[in-house]
Chain A
Amino acid sequence: MTSTLTAPDPVRTAPAEPPPVVRVSGLRMSYGTQQVLRGIDFTITQGQIVALLGPNGAGKSTTIEILEGFRLRSAGEVSVLGVDPARGDEAWRARLGIVLQSWRDHGKWRVRELLSHFGSFYRPYATDGVTRPWDVDELLAAVGLTEQADKPIAALSGGQRRRLDIAVGIVGRPEVLFLDEPTVGFDPQARQEFHELLRTLADARMTILLTTHDLHEAEKLADQVLILAGGRIAARGTVAELAREFGGEAEVTWTSGGRAHSARTADVSAFVRQLIQDGAEVDDLRVHRAGLEEIYLSMVAGEEAKR
């Protein structure tokens, strides 16, 4: 920390793009001769929810573990909160939240006991703006574990355990949160609640990167989707952008005079206008644009074919 504070320079502090929270460029990773990541680039700005989407083995976990500082990359530039994760110190780690998949660790600890223990690690890193750790009772309520607070962790159900994993990930009020396949094993209700929780966190300026192979999750949650296939980012953008960019032509179907018709067009409104102008009797008009699912599947299939 610098002890001298200089008056802000009015020119220099003019509103500028905030630096990205996560910046990755030319990231490569190989295990032996096997290349898992073949040069990926992306940035995440503060408060964004980004989903890293891809089939198993596409390099999602590898990417997130490099960002967490748990894995050393083969090549490329990476920075998280302005720091190279390979050189991140404990003060840097205190600003990170990592949601791990638990199995049977800390089985004898009680839920509240473990959260307040883990929370205490963040106490020295509280700042004027950020209260650390998160109040345990508030946190328990936020993840829906209030009733289980005094249960030993070994007695939790699978879904409750995942909620605890998430609570452990955010107990230090991280600036950036990493989640690797967070909703595996969630029922629809739990998934819905989890998505709401992430939205709330993002609204509070938390930056979130999650991996998933569930397209609907990415579609529902993410401000930005990165589709990882074959070690490269095959596509990126908001769900709408992806659909526009890769969906290409929409399929228009209608019935006219009792007969079904269909046509493909890139400009739906012009096509429909024309159709009506031509005076045809148009019933049951439907427009089908390729959903992200089809795009995703065709993209993955394309990558698999290349291998």
Chain B
Amino acid sequence: MNVTGNAVRQGLSRGGTELRQVLSNGQDLGSNLVWLIGLLAPIYFLRDNMLAGTDVSVAAFVLPSLLSMCIGFNGLLNLAQQLVVEREDGTLLRLKALPHGMVSYLIGKVLLVAGMVLVAWVAVLGTGALLVDGLHLGEAGRWLTLLWLLPLGLLAMLPLGAVFGSLIESPRSIGLIMLPVFALATISGIFHPIAGFPTWLQVVAQVFPLYWLGLAARSALLPESALAAEIGESWRHWETVAVLGGWAVLGMLAAPVVLRLMARRESGSTMAARRDRALSRRAA
């Protein structure tokens, strides 16, 4: 039996099982979607406000941008958090003790996160179809853009999530990356077009992948008339692919090294020490 094939198969089966566990548990599903509901609520109130200089509503602008937030949240924050938590609780060490266990672990996580993004996308697009006018949800060509955006966006974000998840030592420190990600979302044009921002801020936003994820999602769902609100009045697909691809390549170079260093440190006694710390925290 092919060893690598088996590792991939076990990873997929692992991801499938974990996805089923999340989806069949109301509490888990809720905690994964609650932030999304918080972001979707304003859509309802903004459905009649028009975006200056265009004929689309603010709600129509924000909704596709939220699709990119789904990739950012799950790919970066959710993956990082899972790595930190599962390092503390010993999941990672267990997999490390199995032949090719770490590879399968990561494949499983990628599948789980991709599944969670899809679930979140269904929630966002469903809300859009029900509440927001002016979205082009019925055209097949538009869905094609979403189809390349999902894997490319995950490729750009997941390695970053893996790096942060390896570097953060305790689940309590996960907030350290939460705030910067929210700050980045604010300047990345998720809630408001950035064309009116100072140039230096626009440059900063365009260095990071979140802006481009949002731009691509808007290009998929908004009419051409919405271009008036974008930098250079263009969807800039090639630039999008270049920047996201660049992050993906950088991440894929860095993540395996960082992950390997992190995994190498794991042993029964480091686990036990972490468990004792966590238990004494709880007792204190």
Query: A263 to chain B: closest CB distance in Å?
Result: 47
Asked if A118 and B89 sit within 8 Å, CB to CB, the answer is: no
Query: A137 to chain B: closest CB distance in Å?
Result: 19
Asked if A123 and B272 sit within 8 Å, CB to CB, the answer is: no
**Contact residues of A: prevailing secondary structure:** mixed
Asked if B268 and A105 sit within 8 Å, CB to CB, the answer is: no
Asked if A65 and B86 sit within 8 Å, CB to CB, the answer is: no
- What per-residue 1/0 map shows which CB atoms of B1-42 lie under 8 Å from chain A? 111001101100110011001000100000000000000000
Range class of the A interface residue count? 35 or more
CB of B267 closer than 8 Å to a CB of A? yes
Asked if B94 and A121 sit within 8 Å, CB to CB, the answer is: no
Binds A, one of B54-62, B98-106, B212-220: B98-106
Contact of A121 among B2, B6, B21, B271 (CB under 8 A): B6
CB of B275 closer than 8 Å to a CB of A? yes
CB of B91 closer than 8 Å to a CB of A? yes
CB of A51 closer than 8 Å to a CB of B? no
How many residues on chain B are close to A (CB under 8 Å)?
33
CB of B230 closer than 8 Å to a CB of A? no
CB of A288 closer than 8 Å to a CB of B? no
Could you say which residues of chain A place their CB within 8 Å of the CB of B275? 103
Asked if A70 and B266 sit within 8 Å, CB to CB, the answer is: yes
- What per-residue 1/0 map shows which CB atoms of A107-142 lie under 8 Å from chain B? 011000100011011111110000000000000000
Q: Give A180 to B267 CA distance when docked, in angstroms.
A: 11
Could you say which residues of chain A place their CB within 8 Å of the CB of B267? 65, 68, 70-71
Query: A175 to chain B: closest CB distance in Å?
Result: 13
Indicate whether A100 sits within 8 Å of B97 (C-beta atoms), given known contacts A65-B269, A71-B267, A117-B10.
yes
CB of B245 closer than 8 Å to a CB of A? no
Asked if A123 and B1 sit within 8 Å, CB to CB, the answer is: yes
CB of B80 closer than 8 Å to a CB of A? no
**Contact residues of B: prevailing secondary structure:** helix
CB of A205 closer than 8 Å to a CB of B? no
Asked if A105 and B90 sit within 8 Å, CB to CB, the answer is: yes
The residue of chain B having its C-beta at the shortest distance from the C-beta of A108 within the complex is B21
Binds B, one of A91-99, A194-202, A270-278: A91-99
Residues 197-249 of A at the B interface (beta carbon under 8 Å): none
The residue of chain A having its C-beta at the shortest distance from the C-beta of B1 within the complex is A124
Q: Give A38 to B191 CA distance when docked, in angstroms.
A: 62
Indicate whether A100 sits within 8 Å of B90 (C-beta atoms), given known contacts A61-B268, A61-B269, A120-B10.
yes
Asked if A90 and B100 sit within 8 Å, CB to CB, the answer is: yes
CB of B93 closer than 8 Å to a CB of A? yes
Asked if A124 and B89 sit within 8 Å, CB to CB, the answer is: no
Residues 231-280 of B at the A interface (beta carbon under 8 Å): 266-269, 271-272, 275
Asked if B25 and A108 sit within 8 Å, CB to CB, the answer is: yes
Contact of A124 among B6, B93, B96, B266 (CB under 8 A): B6
Q: Give A71 to B21 CA distance when docked, in angstroms.
A: 33
**Quick one: which of B17, B93, B97 has the most chain A CB within 10 A?**
B97
Contact of B89 among A65, A71, A96, A105 (CB under 8 A): A105
Q: Give A100 to B268 CA distance when docked, in angstroms.
A: 6
Indicate whether A91 sits within 8 Å of B268 (C-beta atoms), given known contacts A105-B86, A121-B10.
no
Q: Give A109 to B101 CA distance when docked, in angstroms.
A: 17
Could you say which residues of chain A place their CB within 8 Å of the CB of B94? 100, 102, 105-106, 118, 168
CB of A307 closer than 8 Å to a CB of B? no
The residue of chain B having its C-beta at the shortest distance from the C-beta of A168 within the complex is B94
Indicate whether A90 sits within 8 Å of B17 (C-beta atoms), given known contacts A68-B267, A106-B94, A180-B268.
no
Query: B97 to chain A: closest CB distance in Å?
Result: 4
Could you say which residues of chain A place their CB within 8 Å of the CB of B6? 120-121, 123-124
Residues 48-105 of B at the A interface (beta carbon under 8 Å): 86, 89-91, 93-94, 96-101, 104
Could you say which residues of chain B place their CB within 8 Å of the CB of A122? 98-99
CB of A46 closer than 8 Å to a CB of B? no
Of the A-B pairs whose beta carbons lie under 8 Å apart in the complex, a sample of 21, sorted by A's number, is: A62-B269, A70-B266, A70-B267, A71-B267, A93-B98, A94-B99, A100-B93, A100-B94, A100-B271, A103-B89, A106-B94, A108-B18, A109-B17, A117-B14, A120-B13, A121-B7, A121-B10, A121-B98, A123-B1, A123-B6, A124-B1
Could you list which residues of chain A lie within 8 angstroms of chain B, going by C-beta atoms? 61-62, 64-65, 68, 70-71, 90-91, 93-94, 96, 98, 100-106, 108-109, 113, 117-118, 120-126, 168, 172, 180
